Structures are given as structure tokens and as C-alpha cells.
Structure 1
Amino acid sequence: MTGALDRRDDIAAACAAVLREGDPLAKVRLARAVARAWRRGALSHAFQTEMPDAPGRPERPALLPPNRMPKRGRGGSEKGRIALLHALAHIEFAAIDLAFDMAGRFGAQFPRAFVDDWISVGADEAMHFAVLDRRLRALGSGYGALPAHAGLWEAAEETAHDAMARLAVVPMVLEARGLDVTPETVARFRLGGDERSARILHRIYTDEIRHVGFGAKWFGYLAAGGDIEPAPHWRMLVRRHFRGVVKPPFNDSARASAGLTRDFYAPLAEGEPEQAQADRL
């Protein structure tokens, strides 16, 4: 898909174009353009294009395995705050791809409202990345100036075959973790006198509640359609497909407002024994 978007383009082709774009600013512009085109009906609700196996990436930042990433500290100094903002910008950059991949890869399995939701998430993530990069530049840095985590696309690869697994892991584990840790990060930035960055992070936090809510909503939709009990099935999928650990502290109120209640995640954190090994097979 090149040039202006029109009715001849389907939403899957538009999503794939966003994924393939490697330049950060061009990806942001294209993500916003696709979201606008979808809202005004300039893209058809059709899925004739396969999503790429991996998204485009810029030459910088250098991508490192998690165990080779330098420690960032807690953001007490300006250098520490820059490192933390850079890490968050990288997460938001990857989140653009995760949202558009969700819409383009799985949209045919759902009502049109599913695409509405995840295209809106992709536009949010593009905005988040842009404001974080702008803030980094105001602080004398910028996206790409520091190394970044290489493993953020692993969740997409692991769940590429299964919409329910993707919903379980990406919005309901990875984004939900942001709800747990962001309020403390906002407080540390304010304590350090960086109110501008704190306001940016608070805006991202409020948007992420909605994103987690979309995950919970569409996970529930599939569970209801398959006569599946949601919480135990979610835990099974997380055990099978998530390589990390679901652990406290949890922001129970923010999670609950997104529809992700403690009966989903608390048993995992408490070491629930129910067929954990069998579920991984």
C-alpha cells in the first residue's frame, strides 16, 4: 500500500504497511493516517493481506537481550529519568506494531468493533511514542540514543496463531503490568521536579486502562462464544504462552476498572497448583 488511502485498500493491507515501516516518525505518521482513514470509512473491512512475521525496525536503538540491558536505576537523576523515558518510548514504539497486528491478523474473527478498538489503540500508541520522543529531545536525548530491549515482539510471535492467547498475554498481562508500575513512576518524576514528564506518563496510564479493557472485553467475547470459563482459561493461556511471571504488587483498582478482576490473576501470583505443568504441554 503506497500513496493515499482509499476504498480499494483493505484494513489488513493498511495494518501490514504500518508494521513494515521501520522509520519511527514515518511509522507514527502512517499509524495516524490509517486510523483517520478507518474512521472515515476509506478502508474496507476486509483481510486479504497477511501480516509480516516481524515489523520494520530502525537502525537505532541497538537491540539487546534482556540480560544484557544496562540497569536504569529508579529515575532519581536526570540521566536516570532519560533512561527510563527511553525505555518507555521503546515500549510504546513496539506497542504500535502490536496494536496494528492485532487488528490486521485477527480482525476477520470478530465484529467490526474489534478493529475499531485496536486501530484506536494503535493511534494512541503512536501518540504516546511521539510525545515521549519529543520529551527526550527536550532533555537533550532522543529515541535511539540508548540500547533497548530486544524481546518485546516475542509475545506477538508466541501468540500469532491464537487470538485468545494474544489477548490474554499482550493487553491483559503486558499492558496490565503498566497499570501496576506507572503510578509509582509518576510519583518519582514529580519528586524529582519533572512535572512535564509526569503528566505525559499519567496520560499514558489513563489510556492504558482503556487498552486493558479492550483486551478483557474481547477475551470475554471469545470465552462466551466458546462456552469457556474466562478466568481459568486465561490462566492456562498465560502459563502456556507468557515467559515471564505474573507477580505483585498489583493495581487492583485500575485493573478492575478495565474489567480485569483479581479472580483472573491472583491465583497465578499465589502459586495456584491447578495442573500448571499439564497446562504448559
Structure 2
Amino acid sequence: MLPLRRLPPLPLPRGPAPRRLLSAAASAAAVSPLPWPGLSAWRRAPPSDLRTWGPNGPCASGDVDEPAADAGAASSLAEMGALVLSTADPLAKARRTHAAFSRWAAGLPIGQATAPDHPARPDKPLVVTQKEITTHKEMGVPLNAYMLHNLAHVELNAIDLAWDTVVRFAPLRDTLGDGFFADFARVADDESRHFRWYSQRLGELGFSYGDMPVHNLLWRECAKSSSDVSARLAVIPLVQNLDRKPEVSMLDQG
């Protein structure tokens, strides 16, 4: 058997090793999010009248969200949005939202209107700081009712935020395009439908929206972007995630 021979040491390169860099196109493709596969279908869908939750899921009901009597007074989507923002009663806000989106789908122009500084809200619920929100055990309420109330509040904030975006940035229509406002109006309608479902289930449990304190983090933070559409689009998903954290945390805890 031949003895093993030690190989001579390999020469090491001097200086930093060269790095392979992705091309600009490849880098952009690597970080660009893929579009939601259902986006086109969502945009083409007509206004949904499935605003009641039945035994087998969402269903239509003739006595829910009838068109608001004064909805016809507004002549544009922005005016309808301003009307929603000026509506304090949550269920009336949901009705007017559905009426606004239905009229938009039927050909209502975008137009322009003045957004209020703050959306109108009812006397209840009590608004406290985020740190003052207590657990369902401390409130003495069932976890499911506590969760539903929190989620209903998130949806109500989302309705106002979507309409505020439509109304406040309507003067930028030529820059943003009609699709921008169509998407936010549709989001508002979706959120109003969700609010209806949560409110209905709360009632079935013996509660109603306003029975528990809430915080106003979402609106407070998004109000800071009222003069900058780019900032508004950047801050919405970030703050909405923070707004939902208490609910997600409670789900994790069971």
C-alpha cells in the first residue's frame, strides 16, 4: 500500500471575495409581492346583498340595510362618503355605505366633497387608551362576545378609513385613477357587511356594539396621513395590524 502524500496548500485569494449580484430586474422580481389571485373577480363582483348571517352562512334579508332615505340627495361618490363619515349611528353608517357603493356601481360619478376632521361616532362605546383595554375576564363578559365586539370596532374604523380616503383624496382623481376610488368604496362596502354580521351575532349573544370600551389607535394614527396619499397607503396596513393584535392575542390564548 502506497503511503499517503500530503497535498501542497492551495493558494488563497487576496482581498475580499467577489460577490455575485442579482440584476436589478431579478432583484425586483424577488421582492415584489404576487398579486392576489382573486383580485380581478373581487373587482368585477356586483354589490353583495348577503348582509345577514343565516344558519348556513351569509344570506340576503329584505329588512336589513334598506337604502337610507337621504342617500339620493348626494350626487357623487365623494358626497356619499362624506355623508357616511358624518353618520354617528353604526348601523346607519353601514346602510349608507352599502347604498353609496350600490349607486357607485350603477354609475355615480366620483365628484368632490369635504371630509370632516373626525368621523361621527355614537356616545357609546367608551373610548380609552390602548393600555386601558382590559381582558374579557376583567370585564366579566364571555370571550366570544368580547372578540366580536373588538372585531366590530375594527370594521367600523375600516369603514370610516376607506371613506375618508375616498373623500379626502378625490381631488387627485386624475392622478390616482377611478380604480383607486372604486377599490376603497368596495372595501368600505365589504367592511360594512362584516360589521353587520358581527353586530347580529353580538345581539344573539345578548350584547350590542357599544357595550365594551374600545381604543382609537387606528383612526388616530391614520389621521396623521390626511394630507399625503402615499403616507396613507403606507400606514394603513401597519396600523390595522396593530389594531387587530389584541384580538389575535386573545385567539392565541384560547
| CA distance in 1: counterparts of 2:69 and 2:224, whole angstroms | 30
Q: Could you list the runs of 5+ residues in structure 1 that have no partner in the other structure?
A: 190-281
| CA distance in 2: counterparts of 1:53 and 1:78, whole angstroms | 34
Partner of 2:95: 29
Is the aligned partner of 1:174 residue 2:174? Answer: no
RMSD value, Cα:
2.8
Partner of 1:238: none
| CA distance in 2: counterparts of 1:80 and 1:179, whole angstroms | 15
| CA distance in 1: counterparts of 2:99 and 2:72, whole angstroms | 8
Partner of 2:177: 111
More helix as a share of residues:
1
**Secondary structure of 1:5's aligned partner:** helix
Is the aligned partner of 1:138 residue 2:207? Answer: no
The residue type paired with residue 230 of structure 2 is M
| CA distance in 1: counterparts of 2:241 and 2:150, whole angstroms | 17
Is the aligned partner of 1:52 residue 2:116? Answer: yes
Q: How does 1:229-248 map to 2 (within 5 A)?
A: none
Partner of 2:215: 149
TM-score by length of 1: 0.58
Distance 1:131 1:72, change over 3 A: same
1:69 to 133, 136, 149: 133
Report the Cα offset of residue 184 of structure 1.
7.9
The residue type paired with residue 106 of structure 2 is R
Is the aligned partner of 1:83 residue 2:146? Answer: yes
| CA distance in 2: counterparts of 1:94 and 1:71, whole angstroms | 21
Distance 1:108 1:18, change over 3 A: same
Distance 1:70 1:140, change over 3 A: same
Is residue 101–residue 185 contact of structure 2 (8 Å, CA) maintained in 1?
yes
Distance 1:90 1:14, change over 3 A: same
| CA distance in 1: counterparts of 2:251 and 2:131, whole angstroms | 26
The residue type paired with residue 156 of structure 2 is F
Distance 1:102 1:60, change over 3 A: same
How many percent of aligned residue pairs carry the same amino acid? 32
Distance 1:19 1:44, change over 3 A: same
The residue type paired with residue 173 of structure 1 is L
Q: Could you list the runs of 5+ residues in structure 2 that have no partner in the other structure?
A: 1-67
Is residue 63–residue 148 contact of structure 1 (8 Å, CA) maintained in 2?
yes
| CA distance in 2: counterparts of 1:157 and 1:124, whole angstroms | 22
**Secondary structure of 1:152's aligned partner:** helix
Is the aligned partner of 1:122 residue 2:163? Answer: no
1:206-247 CA deviation, whole Å, 9 max, x = no partner? xxxxxxxxxxxxxxxxxxxxxxxxxxxxxxxxxxxxxxxxxx
Report the Cα offset of residue 188 of structure 1.
7.1
| CA distance in 1: counterparts of 2:164 and 2:110, whole angstroms | 15
Is residue 64–residue 149 contact of structure 1 (8 Å, CA) maintained in 2?
yes
| CA distance in 2: counterparts of 1:2 and 1:90, whole angstroms | 25
Is the aligned partner of 1:3 residue 2:34? Answer: no
Distance 1:158 1:184, change over 3 A: closer
The residue type paired with residue 120 of structure 2 is G
May I ask how many residue pairs the two structures share in their alignment?
A: 183
| CA distance in 2: counterparts of 1:180 and 1:68, whole angstroms | 15
Higher RCO structure, 1 or 2 (CA under 8 Å, sep 6+): 2
